[in-house]
Every structure is written in C-alpha cells, then in structure tokens.
C-alpha cells in the first residue's frame, strides 16, 4: 500500500535549488532507523543506523528539487528582480506561488509571492518577507489523489523520490542506501558532490540506480502505469549491456516494466564511472507545470522494480 498522506506532503513541500530543508525534514521523519548524512548544497544520504558507508553495495538515487526561482535585488515598487529555471516565464504567471527563505526547514515557513513579466523575457517577484538573494519560490498547489491518479506540483521529482525511499525502507539492509540529490533542475553538476562522496567512501558498490520522472512524450512507448529502464538518455549511453541483460532476468521474474530510451536526460550519466548504473523512469502527463498527473499503480510497480533490482544485483 502507498502512504498517500506522506506522498502528498512530499509533493506539496517546497524545495528549490539546494534550498531543500523542508523536503529533507520530511525524509528524516520518514526514515526512522536510518542515519541521514547531509552535505549542504549537495545531497542527503540515508543508510541504516550504525552502518559504515564502506559497506554500501547498492545506491538508489533521486533528486529533491523542483523548478522555480530565486529573488535577486530590488527593482521598483516592492518588486525584485529574479532568475528562474525549469520552464518559460509564462508557466509561472497567473498561478499560485510560494516563497521561503533559503535556510527554511519546514513547509510551514513558506509565504505567498507573485510574479510579473519584466523586460527581455524576465520576471519580477514580490511578496511580504522576500529577502534579496535568499528567498526562493515555486508553485503552491494542493496534491489531489483520486482513484489511481495523483495530480499536483513537483511530481517530478518527488514521486520517484518517494519510490526510492520506500524501496530502501522495505529492503531495510545496511548495504543499501538512498541518495537524495539537490539542484538537479537548475545545476546538474551539484550531483558531482554525491559522486565524489561515493567514490571516496563506498569502495564496494555493485549498482547505482537513478530514478526520475520524464514527460511521457519523451519516453519511448511510455505508459503512466509502467516504470521503465532507460538504456539511453538523449545521446548518452547508460550502460546498455548491463541494462539489457538485467532486464532479461527481471522479465523472467514477472516484473512489470519495459526497456526503452528517452529524449531527455537526467543526472544518471554522472554516476556511471562508479559502478554498473541503471536509469529508471516513471513518466508523468505533463512536466514542470503547476499540475501534472501520474499513476499510483505506476508508483507501486516502480517501488517493486527498485526492490527487485537490488535483490538481483546484491543477493
């Protein structure tokens, strides 16, 4: 069963760039019995309490941050210049937005903000409590779950973040860790901090699995209710021989997934030097918008796929 209350809280929480305090706080409360190692402006790693990182054999990866922006200096009449990422400016206009301090630790610290177009495809942002260069902002939406459908903001990436932490909780082994990376949407090289950490501290890695949410139109034969192993992300090779041979073994077990490629990319390629690497995709109907749709069946199957991968690669 899926804990829909936690899933809704996870998708509603704001987390932009490396300002991921509210999301990290939720994950800490969820991962009882796991130690959380946080590298600021980098990542949070969850491993069983008392376990040595040197014993980690499998790492399940997802990113925490969503699209949005950050306030810059004052413009005029209470407005501030801002930079934003993840979509064109039009998607942020005439939709509820929320801001928070970069160091916020809880979603309760967020406050309403608004944006307006400025010159040269730029936006200005305004709201009580904005502090230049340290207020981030994103969509403010309530997640709705009805039947097999979940609809809301930040399903990319929080649905596969949910799948990763749930799989690690269920596996419940000291040699299996969840790696939650920051800033993938705006500064993908931040993941290099996680790669460096694993390279220095985890010498016996057998597999790295990165899970993300692409737009269904960017995934070959994409289905909302079916996770996929992507052996190609854009022009990047994601260990195709390893992925194909593993897919064959998993298919014989009756796992519900498919083998595919994606037009879009993720941070997966950064991890390939460390160990055999897999790219897992669970698509959404819409992406980087105030409201998109995904399937609860797809989430359940994604968790099961992640568990099966670990069992196969690290018996």
DSSP labels, 87-131: S-GGGGTTS-EEEEETT--SGGG-EEEEEEEETTTEEEEE-TT--
* Residues 26, 111 contacting (CB under 8 angstroms): no
DSSP SS3 for 188: helix
Residue 270: per-residue pLDDT: 98
Residue 7: per-residue pLDDT: 98
Residue 171: per-residue pLDDT: 98
Give every residue of the chain whose pLDDT is below 70, as ranges: none
pLDDT tens, residue by residue, 102-120: 999 999 999 999 999 998 8
Beta strands in 11-78 (DSSP E): 34-39, 43-48, 58-63, 68-74
Residue 120: per-residue pLDDT: 84
Residue 208: per-residue pLDDT: 99
Residue 178: per-residue pLDDT: 99
Residue 85: per-residue pLDDT: 97
For residue 236, CA distances in Å to 140, 216, 232, 233, 272 come to: 34, 19, 6, 5, 11
Give CA–CA dist 293/287, Å, rounded: 9
**pTM greater than 0.95 (yes/no):** yes
Show the tokens assigned to 69: 């922006």
Give CA–CA dist 49/211, Å, rounded: 24
């Amino acid at each position: 069963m899926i804990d829909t209350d936690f899933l809704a809280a996870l998708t509603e929480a704001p987390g932009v760039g490396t300002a991921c305090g509210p999301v990290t706080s939720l994950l800490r409360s969820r991962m009882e019995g796991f130690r959380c190692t946080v590298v600021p402006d980098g990542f949070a790693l969850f491993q069983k309490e008392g376990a040595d990182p040197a014993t980690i054999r499998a790492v399940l990866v997802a990113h925490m941050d969503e699209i949005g922006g950050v306030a810059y200096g004052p413009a005029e009449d209470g407005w501030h210049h801002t930079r934003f990422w993840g979509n064109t400016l039009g998607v942020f206009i005439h939709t509820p937005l929320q801001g928070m301090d970069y160091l916020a630790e809880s979603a309760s610290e967020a406050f309403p903000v608004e944006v307006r177009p400025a010159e040269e495809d730029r936006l200005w942002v305004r709201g009580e409590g904005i502090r230049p260069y340290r207020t981030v902002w994103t969509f403010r939406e309530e997640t709705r779950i009805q039947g097999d459908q979940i609809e809301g903001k930040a399903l990319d990436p929080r649905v596969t973040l949910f799948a990763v932490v749930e799989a690690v909780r269920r596996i419940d082994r000291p040699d299996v860790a969840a790696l939650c990376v920051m800033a993938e949407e705006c500064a993908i090289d931040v993941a290099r901090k996680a790669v460096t950490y694993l390279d220095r501290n985890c010498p016996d890695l057998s597999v790295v699995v990165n899970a993300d949410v692409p737009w269904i139109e960017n995934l070959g034969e994409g289905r909302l209710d079916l996770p996929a192993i992507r052996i190609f992300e854009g022009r990047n090779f994601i260990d195709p021989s390893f992925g194909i041979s593993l897919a064959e073994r998993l298919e014989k077990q009756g796992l519900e997934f498919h083998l595919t490629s994606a037009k879009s990319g993720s941070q997966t390629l950064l991890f390939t030097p460390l160990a055999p690497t897999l790219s897992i995709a669970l698509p959404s109907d819409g992406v980087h918008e105030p409201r998109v749709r995904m399937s609860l069946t797809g989430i359940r199957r994604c968790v099961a796929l992640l568990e099966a991968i670990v069992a196969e690669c690290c018996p």
